[in-house]
Structure 1
Amino acid sequence: MSGFATTARMCGVGVALSCLMGSGAVAADLPTKAPPIPYAGVDDFWTRPYLFGDLGRTRLKEQGISLALTLGDEAVTNLSGGSRNTSANAGQLWFEAKFDMAKLAGIQGGLIGVTLVDRFGKNLNSEAGIPALQLTNEVFGRGNILRLTEFYYQQKLFDDRLVLKGGRLPVGSDFFFGQCEFINLTFCGGQPGNIQGGYIYNWPVSQWAGVVHYNFTKEWKLSVGVYDANPNYLTTSDAGVYLAPGIPRSTPASGVLVPVEVVWEPSGPLNGTWRFGGWYDSASTIDGGLPGIIAVVNGGPGVGDQNLSSTRGRYGFYESILQRLTVDGPKAQGWYTFFNTSVADHRTAYQDYQISWGVKHTGTFSFRPEDEVGFAVGTTHVNSAALTPNAGGNEVPIEAWYGWQATGWMNLKFDAQYVINPGGRGFNGAGLKTSNAVVLGIRSVVHF
């Protein structure tokens, strides 16, 4: 384990202990709340936005350099479901740096971004024997290693109408649903990557890519991307660190992944982001040679070797709606809702669709204006053609949480999940029926 990972694990244990002492409960992908506001005012330990104080970052930001170091940790335990009741903890420590090239080099509209992510911990589904399709602690995955998640140059042109971006990028940074407020993976990050993780690589995995955004108006945007498709980006064997080589060595690229997305962003007090898009992956895959029969599917069970043939290309479609419903206070408290649907190519997808809906409210109590509550329900469907006892079934997670803004630099979410029919119909790898899963957890986010 790298030194960076060791630091992350120590921080994660400390945060988990602080959570336990405060509540008695058992405790991204991406940040669950907006980054802290620029450091200002009296340096009060409990209200300042960073645990270690400003450390000169405000002055650096004025000069064009923005730095951030954040820990996200998810500690969960299952009260039912699976083969045994146990707990698991997983998290990630990520460092972000952005360089404003207008301030640093006089290049108007230029930006360089770098993000490093170091993950640690264990997967509750594996530890407890829960045969769920989606992770019950979403932050786990893609190896307990240090990854180069972003390294890109971005250039805005023509009064910011055209935005060009290239380098090492995770597809979810520019496409799909970007929120990650919940612990169950069904409600977190890019849905297409949740059900097609074998070739759509969500954070923290990145690929060499180029992206074009064109803003027709203030509210309408078209985005197109081209991503190098190579399974070696998923490697976890490089001595705990996967920063280089930037181009995987042992296996040539299998093709390209091309997402296309139209975005409508209504402005005003009730703002929102409505995404409509699709993707195409040009790689060859194996199917069963018959409509609806699949053989190779994201690590899931297949049809064996009958009538196998090669199919060129995989595709899918999605919509993602994130909409504010009310504005209830001076700090934009109120309700917002999201609704996501992703449908994948039934010839090659083991999980061929996923739907999720949820709501969140900020400032639920007047005396806690930054605290939040959230609720979501969703479903993931197993392809009816898969040769598995779970074929045609739907996994249905329900999740609710209370978010406590404990300090200016630490946010805690007290969470409960109920997963109905884990795996689609509740069968594990041995073909035995398992009970629905009840999972309790604490998610903590600390800005250093």
Structure 2
Amino acid sequence: MLHRPLNTPRVWGGGIALSSLLSGGAYAADLWTKAPPVPYAETDDFWTRPYLFGDLGRTKLKEQGISLSLTLLDEAVTNLSGGSKNTAVNSGQLFFHAKFDMAKLAGIQGGTVGLTLVDRFGDNLNTEAGIPALQLTNEVFGRGNILRLTELYYLQKLFDDRLELKGGRLPAGSDFFFGECEFINLTFCGGQSGNILGNYIYNWPVSQWAGLVHYKLTKELQFSVGVFDANPNYLTTSDSTVYFLPGIPASNPATGVLVPVELTWRPSGPLNGTWRFGGWYDNASTIDGGLPGIIATIPGVGGVPDQNLGDQRGRYGVYESIVQRLTVDGPKAEGWYTFLNTTVADHRTSYQDYQIAWGVKHTGTFAWRPEDEVGFAVGTTHVNSAALSPNAGGNEVPIEVWYGWQATGWMNLKFDAQYVINPGGRGFNAAGVKTDNAWVLGLRTVVQF
């Protein structure tokens, strides 16, 4: 693994775009994802083509049933205030995705094989700057700087595509929860349930053995249910070889199963959207975190309950996620979009027991820049009032704004600013000392190779 720790501040400005090109995102879905790159044409020049290295035969492969992509997502961030020191860090991931259309390759109508590998690198700004925030201020960091098998699945559509069966190695957020990731603060990125309950709901890039069913009740309404192997050993970062292979970790077998259930409404038409309503249940043995309850430990991962309380079984929660187009301002994706996410976890076992996030995005900010965008979001994460922590009952409130510049056909840059109010909940660190609100500036670079 060619990862070098970043122990000193780096220049995070325009230089990161160049370093991205010389060195080589999290996934996104639904409305906020840009349209797939247009089919490559020989007349496309270096600046307008969808891939840095050109087509390289990908168009022909796709016609034959094989789709390949390689993407670099890089986040360079620095804190201007807040924490114990001012510093800058860089983190990112290299993401390889392959999809095989089994109808074209083997004559199996409705069949698809998917493979995703993710290699992460870099450092955590919260740690390096001493910001005691509940949510990451550079969301792409996490789960170890190792190569992970994020997806390896077989998908089969049946009955005129009304029924979809999917099984293999999957992150829960690939098919459930909020699937967008266009902000740098973790509050606004990826599955909220995993953001506040990362000790047993594993977001990208961690995967688990799983099987799930999607069933279209109508053209716009879908019911989904999944069963995920609940094994904390998937979180290991000590042996990337074992956890890269498509096998169940050898030590400490599964502790139970995680079962998410979701009803999804996708209104069609010009003002389309994705409305998700769901919940989950995990049957692993847990310690009741009721009053006086949970002892705070690692933000973003959960709390260690009071060991004197009784052994209980089951953890659960509910959520909603709305992504909706509000206006049509042009012939393509131009217009206003909004999202609203709410996740509430059970009070007995959750150190962070709810998270709410709202945001808007406009595509086609200027008439002469139809692919440029601007985004704004505000949210909150709440610390369980039963937690034995200086921050018990407190709320962390991040605010974020960015401008997205489609610099070339294959590179997007987002110039970003965050303001985190009460990092950690009430704004106290583990010792109960008041901490300042944090100003964080960042640059998010996405390169399609």
TM-score range, shorter chain: over 0.9
SS at match of 1:118: strand
Unaligned runs of 5+ in 2: 20-24
1:72-87 equivalences in 2 (<5 Å) = 72-87=73-88
Distance 1:21 1:90, change over 3 A: closer
Does 2:291 match 1:287? no
Residue 38 and residue 234 in structure 1: after superposition, are their counterparts in 2 closer, same or farther (change >3 A)?
same
Per the TM alignment, residue 331 of structure 1 is displaced from its structure 2 partner at its CA by 1.4
2:114 aligns to what?
113
TM-aligned CA deviation for residue 252 of structure 1:
1.2
Q: In 2, Cα distance between the equivalents of 1:338 and 1:77? A: 27
Is the contact between residue 37 and residue 49 of structure 1 (CA under 8 Å) also seen in structure 2?
Answer: yes
Which position in structure 2 is the counterpart of 1:217?
218
8 Å CA contact retained: 1:341, 1:353: yes
Measure the CA separation in 2 of the matches of 1:138 and 1:92. 11
Alpha-carbon distance change, 92 to 170 in structure 1, aligned in 2, over 3 angstroms: same
Q: What secondary structure is seen at the aligned counterpart in 1 of 2:294?
A: coil
Letter in 2 for 1:294: I
Q: Quote the offset at 1:304 in angstroms.
A: 4.3
- 1:224, 1:212 → 2: CA distance? 6
> Any idea what SS the aligned residue of 1:242 has?
helix
How many angstroms apart in 2 are the aligned matches of 1:174 and 1:39? 29
Q: Indicate if the aligned counterparts of 2:171 and 2:202 stay in contact, CA closer than 8 A.
A: yes
* Residues 424-433 or 137-146, more deviating: 424-433
* SS of residue in 2 equivalent to 1:401: strand
- Rounded Cα–Cα distance in structure 2 between residues aligned with 1:275 and 1:236: 32
- The residue type equivalent to 1:30 in the other structure is Y
1:270 and 2:274 equivalent?
no
CA distance in 1, matches of 2:88, 2:446: 19
Contact 2:390–2:430 (CA under 8 A) maintained in structure 1: no
- CA 1:343–1:239: 2 relative to 1, 3 Å: closer
Deviation at 1:380, TM superposition (A): 0.1
Q: 1:438 and 1:338 mapped to 2: Cα distance?
A: 24
Q: How many residues align?
A: 434
- How many Å apart are 1:88 and its aligned residue? 0.8
CA contact (8 A) 1:303 1:387 kept: no
**Distance in 1, Cα, partners of 2:237 & 2:435:** 31
Q: Corresponding residue for 2:22?
A: none
For the 8 Å contact 1:167–1:208, the answer to whether it is kept is: yes
Corresponding letter in the other structure for 2:355: Q
Mapping of 1:420-439 within 5 angstroms? 420-439=421-440
Query: 1:287: Cα distance to partner?
Result: 2.3
Deviations 1:236-295 (A, max 9, x none): 00157731262011111000000000000000000000000000000011125x457235
What is the Cα-based RMSD across aligned positions, in Å? 2.0
The Cα of 1:15 is off from its aligned counterpart by 9.7
- Aligned-pair identity in percent equals 78
- SS of match in other structure, 1:48: coil
Instruction: Tell me by how many angstroms 1:29 deviates.
Output: 2.4
Q: What is the CA-CA distance between 1:20 and the residue it aligns to?
A: 7.0
1:127 corresponds in structure 2 to 128
Q: Structure 2 matches for 1:207-356, cutoff 5 A?
A: 207-238=208-239, 242-244=243-245, 246-288=247-289, 290-291=290-291, 293-295=293-295, 299-300=301-302, 302=304, 304-305=306-307, 307-356=308-357
Residues 102 and 112 in structure 2, CA contact (< 8 A), matched pair in contact too: yes
Q: CA deviation at 1:36?
A: 1.7
Written as runs of structure 1 = structure 2, the 5 A alignment for 1:182-221 is: 182-221=183-222
Secondary structure at the counterpart of residue 238 of structure 2: coil
Shift of 1:43: 2.6
Secondary structure (helix, strand or coil) at the match of 2:420 reads strand
Shift of 1:233: 0.4
How far apart, CA to CA, are the structure 2 residues paired with 1:64 and 1:14? 42
Decide whether the 8 Å contact of 1:301 with 1:387 is kept in 2.
Answer: no
Amino acid aligned to 2:215: Y
Paired with 2:38 and 2:318, the residues of 1 have a C-alpha distance of 36
In structure 2, the residue corresponding to 1:61 is in which secondary structure?
Answer: helix
Question: Offset of 1:364 from its aligned partner?
Answer: 1.0
User: TM-score normalised to the size of structure 1?
Assistant: 0.93
State the partner residue of 2:162.
161
Q: Secondary structure at the match of 1:273?
A: strand
Matching of residues 20-31 of structure 1 within 5 Å? 28-31=25-28
Aligned to 2:404: 403
Secondary structure of 1:225's aligned partner: strand
Letter in 1 for 2:335: G
Moved more, 371-380 or 296-305: 296-305
Correspondence list, 1:354-433, <5 A: 354-433=355-434
Contact 2:16 2:76 in 1 (8 A): no
- Whichever residue aligns with residue 408 of structure 2, its letter is T
Paired residue for 1:101?
102
C-alpha separation in 1, matches of 2:372 and 2:161: 35
In structure 2, relative to structure 1, the CA distance for the partners of 1:134 and 1:89 (3 Å cut) is same
Classify 1:70/1:303 alpha carbon distance in 2 versus 1 (closer, same or farther; 3 Å).
closer
With structure 2 as the length reference, what TM-score do the two structures score? 0.93
Moved over 6 A (4+): 13-16
CA contact (8 A) 2:305 2:349 kept: no
Q: Give the direction of change, closer, same or farther, for the CA distance of 1:273–1:60 in structure 2 (3 Å limit).
A: same
- C-alpha separation in 2, matches of 1:329 and 1:33: 15
- In structure 2, the partner of 1:25 is none
Q: How far has the Cα of 1:303 moved from its partner? A: 5.8
CA distance in 2, matches of 1:19, 1:212: 41
CA displacement at 1:17 relative to structure 2? 5.2
Name 1:63's counterpart in structure 2.
64
String of CA shifts for 1:69-105, please: whole Å, max 9, x gaps: 0000000000001000000110000100000000000
Q: 1:428: how far off?
A: 1.2
**CA distance, structure 1, for counterparts of residue 242 and residue 431 of structure 2:** 35
Asked if 2 retains the 8 angstrom alpha-carbon contact of 1:145 and 1:242, the reply is: no
Aligned twin of 2:443:
442
Q: Which consecutive unaligned segments of at least 5 residues does structure 1 have?
A: 23-27
Quote the Cα distance in structure 1 between the aligned partners of 2:351 and 2:150.
Answer: 27
SS of 2:348's partner is coil
Q: State how far apart, in whole Å, the 1-side matches of 2:393 and 2:340 are.
A: 23
